[in-house]
Amino acid sequence: MGNIYEIREGRVPGTVIRIELISYFLSNPRSMVTCDCLARELRYPREQILEQINKLIDLRIVGKNDVEGKEHYSYLPPFSNKVLKEKRFNNIKHIIARRP
């Protein structure tokens, strides 16, 4: 059973695939998957998945890793300045506590 977009238009709009890819990675934030796996899971052609995942890589939403000669994709959580500031503060606090 295909997606409704496949039935109506023949080719699914890229924005729809990107939304589904983002939803997949948000639901599975620790997964590292291949393009073939995503195509099977989301039921879209591999070429369309690859095209859209490359756009998500450019936006730094998804990262690409080479594992045993195959490209795997994973979610890149957003970077927060607040976390960085807290981390710096905690490191300074830790250094001060270690001083004799």
Where along the chain do its domains lie?
A: 4-98
Taking only the tens place, the pLDDT of each residue in 24-51 is 999 999 999 999 999 999 999 999 999 9
Mean pLDDT over each residue of the chain, to the nearest integer: 80
pTM metric for this prediction: 0.69
- Residue 29 phi/psi, 5-degree rounding, is -65, -20
CATH number for the domain formed by residue range(s) 4-98: 1.10.10.10
State how far the Cα of 59 lies from the Cα of 14, in Å rounded to an integer: 14
